[in-house]
Structure 1
């Protein structure tokens, strides 16, 4: 039986939707027929006709509430919120300032708190309720040296997901998509070139980075009626995670197909 995700007449908000993973998520929802609204701190060049862009600093609760209220007023509803905004530069924990740690926490955790809280009155008043999706990371559940506070913030976001799924049930479903490494416009620069990207990809069991569209597809699935009984879930989209380090040295493991070098 062929299944098609059709989100026509759904209004979807995506934070950080101007590039990378966020842009891939926004495109996926557009392809599913949804009306998509994205936000970011800077516009993606000339403002596109679709999705509609709003300039918002999601770390500012007043700006977030104004944006959500504006979207709800424009469309009369909000069906899906995707808390995608996030990220962190590689920085040693001891060398970073308290201000740096606070900003990373604000961007990767509190922004999702502000967006979800602002969307709640709209979603809870709708017959169909709504869906909140939080984009987390493999860093939430494994050591994250160099991005310590980022990993901790993503772990907090997963805890928020599970708790809100219970507190806001049954009208609002809350799930998370835990992303592994994703190939974006800046991957080659970040890892030091195509050759280094290939070496990093070899540490993933499937041997490749995810595409932004892979994260978008997971979001569309969780937002759709196909996932009507799924809430409080953390869906891993990471190609199998990472090869255990011992497999590089234990006798006999060289016979395993695809073992990372």
Structure 2
């Protein structure tokens, strides 16, 4: 991926940070976006020093339409093009019961997991289609097809994201590919808030009898981003250890 330009939202920690490192290791220039720009700057400096690629840190709350547009303009202003967009930023806050899900929480979950990816994909995909092509990867969740009472707004947003994956693949073909990865339970800094019971339940629900490690998303993301998946678009891959 020498010289390609990759945007990763939610790229300053967890699975997003592992993606950033993987792309940089393969020679790509990376745009690291998340709400806290100082965290992005830290990752950008580490990656630039270790791999010798160009980096750009952008503070962006993807639930904000204008922030999404600023991210697009910053990336194109710095690099002149975008070859890969990974819509990785996500949020699934805990709530005590379904009747206590407030409007602000619901809107926040939909905004980060669905509205942001729609705006970024529409804006960047349109430019990609006009400028020769590219690849877009949406990070979805097993909750989209296996919803439970503990994450219904999140599950609904990710189901919508799966629909966007197929719809945008049709909209931007033939030279822009759009695919998704439906992740199961991964151990990141977010999972630190899980109780032992939750972690055990999620691990036991997988055929592999464990949760995923953050770097185990890398192979699938790099596959969809690169030429090896040249005949794959509109697809969503389960990456969940065989959850049932």
TM-score by length of 2: 0.89
CA 1:148/1:225 → structure 2, altered by over 3 Å: closer, same or farther?
A: same
CA distance in 2, matches of 1:19, 1:119: 23
Contact 1:8 1:33 in 2 (8 A): yes
CA shift for structure 1 position 53: 1.6
1:96-135 alignment runs, 5 A limit? 96-127=101-132, 129-135=133-139
Contact 2:32 2:40 in 1 (8 A): no
Q: SS of the counterpart of 1:173?
A: strand
CA distance in 1, matches of 2:79, 2:184: 33
Contact 2:11 2:19 in 1 (8 A): yes
Identify the residue that residue 193 of structure 2 maps to in structure 1. Answer: 190
Deviations for 1:153-176, whole angstroms, at most 9, x for unmatched residues?
000000111111112110210000
Q: After the TM superposition, which parts of structure 1 deviate over 4 Å for at least 4 consecutive aligned residues?
A: none
Q: Say whether 1:73 aligns with 2:77.
A: yes
CA distance in 2, matches of 1:118, 1:165: 14
Contact 1:22 1:84 in 2 (8 A): yes
Bigger mean CA offset, 98-107 vs 147-156: 98-107
Q: Say whether 1:44 aligns with 2:43.
A: no
Q: SS of the counterpart of 1:44?
A: helix
Identify the residue that residue 205 of structure 2 maps to in structure 1. Answer: 203
Identify the residue that residue 16 of structure 2 maps to in structure 1. Answer: 22
TM-score by length of 1: 0.84
What is the number of residues matched between the two proteins?
Answer: 233
Identify the residue that residue 255 of structure 1 maps to in structure 2. Answer: none
Bigger mean CA offset, 225-234 vs 53-62: 53-62
CA distance in 1, matches of 2:242, 2:233: 22
Deviations for 1:85-116, whole angstroms, at most 9, x for unmatched residues?
11211212211111221111111100101111
Q: Say whether 1:158 aligns with 2:132.
A: no
Rg larger for: 1
Contact 2:18 2:215 in 1 (8 A): yes
CA distance in 1, matches of 2:173, 2:20: 26
Contact 1:72 1:122 in 2 (8 A): no
CA shift for structure 1 position 46: 5.6
List alignment gaps of at least 5 residues for structure 2.
48-54
CA distance in 2, matches of 1:227, 1:81: 15
List alignment gaps of at least 5 residues for structure 1.
1-6, 243-261
CA distance in 1, matches of 2:202, 2:163: 29
Contact 2:11 2:40 in 1 (8 A): no
